[in-house]
Structure 1
Amino acid sequence: MHRVAAQLGVTKMALYRYVPGKAELVALMVEAAIGPYPPVKVRHGGWREQLEEWAGQLFDVFRQHPWALDATVGPRIMGPAELSWLERAVSALDGTGLSGAERMDAAALLVGHVRGITQQARATGPAGNPEAQLGALLGNLMQAHGERFPALTAALTSAAQSHGQDQAWEFGLQRILDGLAALIDRRVR
């Protein structure tokens, strides 16, 4: 609060006229940064396509505002803009046979994947490719100790054959959606 007040050129106590505390200030910052979920004029595609689009848009928001990764962890104050993102994910699963709790859990699972991949990208820098960097870091270790770790050596060799292409985003997203599809199929029968 002190740092924000100093940047605004007011006293810390003056800032408290507008926000009661740090949690509320962070919530306002998140609201301003992420904004509401973009309006959907016409629902296109089924639940899967809608969630793919939603996850991609959330990924873009976190890449544009990496500080929001830390600001949006755990129980906290949420505003209407942030809630609109959750509403969109949960409503994409309307009519699937999933319970409300399961739809919420599905949204949380997708958010976890988006967060994890965004955090990896943040750790490797703007031009980073986490899989290529991991392969490079482990390459020397596997040359020296590969016989002790045959499964890991084989996996890294296979990854190197894909030229270090980062597939974690798409692989994880599709496996989550495949799992939801299997659950939805069981409910429909």
Structure 2
Amino acid sequence: MHRVAAQLGVTKMALYRYVPGKAELVALMVEAAIGPYPPVKVRHGGWREQLEEWAGQLFDVFRRHPWALDATVGPRIMGPAELSWLERAVSALDGTGLSGAERMDAAALLVGHVRGITQQARATGPAGNPEAQLGALLGDLMQAHGERFPALTAALTSAARSHGQDQAWEFGLQRILDGLAALIDRRVR
């Protein structure tokens, strides 16, 4: 609160006239940064296409505002803009036969994937490719200790031959959506 007040050129106590505390200030910052969910691009697509678009949009938001990764963890105050993102994900699953709790869990699962990939990208910097960097580090380790880890060595060799690096985003997203599709198919039967 003190830092924000200083940047705004007011006292910390003056800031409390506008927000009652840090939690409310962070919620306002998140609201301003992420904004409401953008207008839907995929109108004719099914739930899968809608969730692909949603996850990609969220990934872009977290890349533009990496501080929001830390600010949006756990139970906290959420404003209408942030809620509009959750609304969009949950409503994409309307009519699928999933319960409300399952639709919420699906959204949480997708957020977890987006967060995990974004955090990995943040750790390597703007020009970094976390999978390529990990592959290089593991490759060096496997040259020295590969005989102790034959399955890992074989997987890394295969990935290098097939240029299988930098696929975690798409691979994970598609496997999550495949799992939801299997559950939805069971509900429809």
Relative to the length of structure 1, the TM-score reads 0.97
Counterparts of 1:170 and 1:41, CA distance in 2: 19
Does structure 1 retain, via aligned residues, the 8 Å contact 2:34–2:61? yes
Instruction: Tell me which residue corresponds to 2:68.
Output: 68
Q: State the number of aligned residues.
A: 189
Does structure 2 retain, via aligned residues, the 8 Å contact 1:131–1:164? no
Deviation at 1:165, TM superposition (A): 2.9
Taking a change above 3 Å as real, the CA distance of residues 160 and 51 of structure 1, as seen in their structure-2 partners, is same
Does structure 1 retain, via aligned residues, the 8 Å contact 2:42–2:53? no
Residue 13 of structure 1: SS of its match in structure 2?
helix
Does structure 2 retain, via aligned residues, the 8 Å contact 1:110–1:176? yes
Counterparts of 1:37 and 1:111, CA distance in 2: 14
Does structure 2 retain, via aligned residues, the 8 Å contact 1:132–1:164? no
Deviation at 1:155, TM superposition (A): 0.9
Instruction: Tell me which residue corresponds to 1:79.
Output: 79
Comparing 134-143 with 148-157, which one deviates more in the overlay?
Answer: 134-143
Does structure 1 retain, via aligned residues, the 8 Å contact 2:19–2:25? yes
Counterparts of 2:42 and 2:175, CA distance in 1: 26
Does structure 1 retain, via aligned residues, the 8 Å contact 2:42–2:50? no
Taking a change above 3 Å as real, the CA distance of residues 158 and 27 of structure 1, as seen in their structure-2 partners, is same
Deviation at 1:25, TM superposition (A): 0.2
Q: Kindly provide the CA deviation profile for residues 117-148 of structure 1, in whole angstroms up to 9, marking residues without a partner as x.
A: 00000001111111110111112210111010
Gaps of 5+ in 2: none
Deviation at 1:39, TM superposition (A): 2.2
Residue 39 of structure 1: SS of its match in structure 2?
coil
Deviation at 1:164, TM superposition (A): 5.6
Q: Kindly provide the CA deviation profile for residues 61-111 of structure 1, in whole angstroms up to 9, marking residues without a partner as x.
A: 000000000000000000000000000000000000000000000000000
Deviation at 1:160, TM superposition (A): 1.2
Does structure 2 retain, via aligned residues, the 8 Å contact 1:31–1:82? yes
Deviation at 1:40, TM superposition (A): 2.8
Gaps of 5+ in 1: none
Deviation at 1:158, TM superposition (A): 1.3
Residue 58 of structure 1: SS of its match in structure 2?
helix
RMSD: 1.1
Comparing 178-187 with 139-148, which one deviates more in the overlay?
Answer: 139-148
Does structure 2 retain, via aligned residues, the 8 Å contact 1:54–1:89? yes
Percent identity over paired residues? 98
Q: Kindly provide the CA deviation profile for residues 24-53 of structure 1, in whole angstroms up to 9, marking residues without a partner as x.
A: 000000000000001237722000000000
Does structure 1 retain, via aligned residues, the 8 Å contact 2:86–2:107? yes
